[in-house]
A and B are shown apart, each in its own frame.
Chain A
Amino acid sequence: MSDLLYNNQHIYLFVALFLLFCGIAGVVYRRTLIGMLVSMELIMNGAGLNLVALNRFVSPENGYGIAFTLIIMGIAAAEAAIALGIIMLIFKKYKHIESGELKEMKD
C-alpha cells in the first residue's frame, strides 16, 4: 500500500518546490506586471500543495493544512483583485505596464 508512487510525499514536496522555483524566477524575469502576478499565483499554489501534502503525510489526524489552504485561496483571490485594480490604474495613467519603466507611483 505504501510503496505506491502517489503515496510518496517527496514527489509532492518537490512539485511544490518546483512551483516556488518557477514563481521566483518569473517574478524576476517577467517584464509586465501581469506576468509577475501570474508568478505570484504559482508561488501561492505551491504553498497550498505543500500544506496539504504535509497534512496528509505528517499529521493525518486533523485537518489544519486543508483549512489553511482554503484561507490561502481567499488571500490569493483578494490579492489578485487588488493587484489587478492597481495595474488597471497604472495602465490608465502611463499607457503601459512595463515594470522596468515605472519610476514613481505618485504624480
Chain B
Amino acid sequence: MNVGEIIFLITVVVTLGGAAMAVLSGSIVYAMMGLVTTMFGIAGLYIYLESPFLSMMQILIYVGAVSVLIAFAVMLIGPLYRKPKEWTTIGKFAAALGVALVSLFMFVRFVMETFPRAVTPSFKITTKEIGRLLLNDLVLPFELISLLLVVAILGAIMLALFSRGNK
C-alpha cells in the first residue's frame, strides 16, 4: 500500500465521517460543518478520479457559496435551542433508518452488478474539452441552467420583498 492509497483511504473516511456527522449531530452548526467536511472529501475524490477542474469547482461552489449561504441562514434565523433534544425519539430514528435502508438495499444490487471494465489510465478530459462539450452538444442544458439561475435570483428577491411588505 503506497502513499496514494493511504491518502485515498483517509479521504474516503473523512467523506463518510462528515456525512454521518451532518445527519447525526444534534446542533445545526455541527451539521453544517459536517457538510463542509463531506464536500472537501468529495473534492479529494474528484482529484483521484482525475478531474481536478471539477474538484476546484466543488470547493469554489459548494464550500465557497452554498455553505456560506447556509451559514448566513443559520446566523439570521433565531435561537434554535428552544426545544432541546426533544426530537430524538426512538420511533423517529427507527423510521428514518428504515426508509434509508430500503433505498440502500434497492441500489446495492445495482452497484454490485456494475462490473468494472479494464481501467484506462489515460483519462484526460481537459477544461478545453469540457468547454467545447458545454457549448456544442450540451448547449440546451447549459442555457437552461442559466435561465434557472436567473429565475432563482428573481425568486429570492421577490421573497425578500414579500417578507418586507408583510411587516
- Please indicate whether A and B come from the same complex rather than being unrelated chains: yes
Binding site for B on A (CB under 8 A): 1-2, 4-15, 17-26, 28-32, 34-35, 37-39, 41-42, 45, 48-49, 52-58, 60, 62-64, 66-71, 73-82, 84-89, 91-93, 95-98, 100
B125 A66 Cβ-Cβ under 8 A: yes
- Decide: B123 and A56 in contact? CB cutoff 8 A: yes
Main secondary structure on A side of the interface with B: helix
Interface string of B98-115 (1 = CB under 8 A from A): 011101100110011010
A13 to B104, CA, bound (A): 12
Contacts of B123 in A (CB 8 A): 56, 60
Pick from B1, B9, B42, B134 the residue with the most CB of A within 10 Å.
B42
B112 to chain A, nearest CB (A): 8
A9 smallest CB distance to B (angstroms): 5
Residues of chain A within 8 A of B159, CB atoms compared: 82, 85-86, 88-89
> Bound state CA distance, A65 and B26, in angstroms?
35
Please provide the 7 A-B residue pairs with the shortest distance between their CB atoms, ordered closest to farther.
A78-B152, A29-B96, A25-B100, A28-B96, A63-B125, A85-B159, A31-B87
Which B residues from 1 to 46 make CB contacts under 8 A with A? 1-2, 4-5, 8-9, 12, 15-16, 19-20, 22-23, 28, 31-32, 34-35, 38-39, 42, 45-46
